[in-house]
Amino acid sequence: MKKKEILVLKDLLGSNKMIASEIREELTEKGILTINFLSSPGAGKTSLLEQLAEQFQSQYKMAVIEGDIETERDAERIRAKGIPAWQITTGGACHLEARMVGKLFSEIPSNLDFLFIENIGNLVCPASYDLGEHIRCVLLSSPEGDDKPKKYPKAFTTSDCLVITKSDLVPILPFDIHKAQNEAMEVNPQIKTFVTSAVQGTGIKELTGFFIESLQKLRKQNA
Amino acid sequence: MHELSIITSLFEILEEKAKEKKARRITCVKLQVGALSGAVPELLKTAFDFYKKDTLASQAELDIDEIPLKVKCKKCQHETFKDDFIFVCSNCGSSELKILAGTELLLEKIEMEIE
């Protein structure tokens, strides 16, 4: 019996990254801007998607992949807005992985403008998994507190934009929008911030404007 | 707690390598885990010990090399370790930093017994 040491140097998330880049490549080719929404449970991902659906209406075609541990509830809410939605129930897993998105791929219409992926409500694990998105958005709702970016740095360092939600509650909460934004910028100086309220409909136009601009850039890149 | 799913991927690689090298037993597995990898070393160890039962690695030890976050300033070229994840250069105040190390989640090496 002899002992042998073998050098491997293999990324443990390598297979996820590989599937994610294949997904991104295909979506880029089709000109579908894909956005991954990350947040803790109850931050308002589904409500924000409902608002986006209303804002895009007939001008842009969107679809949603919903990730949850159990139930079809979120997909049903999105479908009620006339938007195609697929529900992935992980049965316990705390994050979506690229292969789960890949399995749905054949069902996704190729004439879309936007594909939104609503990740499992969790500010930790989903941050480690690339799903093939073009833009990653982290949502932070005002009741959660303005100190979250430094507490959960990975979700904020890997995101392209921060969407502060439930801004209508800010007047009655000890939540400082600037503090939240500054903390996010300390861990990620490039992050763009949007302040929204799904109840009042504020900030939604700015956010859709950013997505439309990003879509145009993606298609220009393709042309 | 996505550490179990990371360990599942680790075992896929371990099984493949053990088969390739015709290993009888895996005695040690070494990982590199960056401070910004999103994985917690202690939880990786718990998941590893749970998963290893009834595998070639049932007696194996998981050795984790924790890699601190290291950045380099694009403006003044200052290199430093960051334990606070604040992306501001401690030398010139620039926020244009490049990550040199600290995001890895790597299987570095496997020690095995071969016939």
Label residue A13 exposed, middle or buried (CB < 10 Å: 0-12, 13-18, 19+).
Answer: buried
Q: Residue B9 — very low, low, confident or very high, per pLDDT cuts 50/70/90?
A: very high
pLDDT at B1 over 80: no
In B95-114, the residues whose Cβ lies within 8 Å of chain A are: 95-96, 104-114
CA distance B87 to A206: 26
In the structure encoding, which two tokens stand for residue A168, read together?
């209508």
Q: Does B1 touch chain A (CB under 8 A)?
A: yes
Domains of chain B listed by start with CATH number:
3-113 (3.30.2320.80)
A167/A177 Cα distance (integer angstroms)? 8
Q: Cβ A1–B112 below 8 Å, yes or no?
A: no
For the segment B52-103, what is each residue's pLDDT rounded down to a tens digit?
999 999 999 999 999 999 999 999 999 999 988 899 999 999 999 999 999 9
Residue extents of the structural domains in chain A: 15-222
Per DSSP, helices labelled H in chain B are 3-20, 41-51
Task: Give the model confidence (pLDDT) of A118-167 as tens digits.
Answer: 999 999 999 999 999 999 999 999 999 999 999 999 999 999 999 999 99
Measured CA to CA, the distance from residue B13 to residue A3 in angstroms comes to 19
Pairing relationship of beta strands A114-118 and A33-38 according to DSSP bridges: parallel
For chain A, the average pLDDT equals: 95
Contact call for residues A157 and B97 (beta carbons, < 8 A)? no
CATH of the domain spanning A15-222, picked from 3.40.50.300, 1.20.1440.120, 3.30.56.10, 3.30.70.1450: 3.40.50.300
- Picking from A3, A9, A12 by the largest number of B CB atoms within 10 A of its own CB, the best residue to mutate is A12
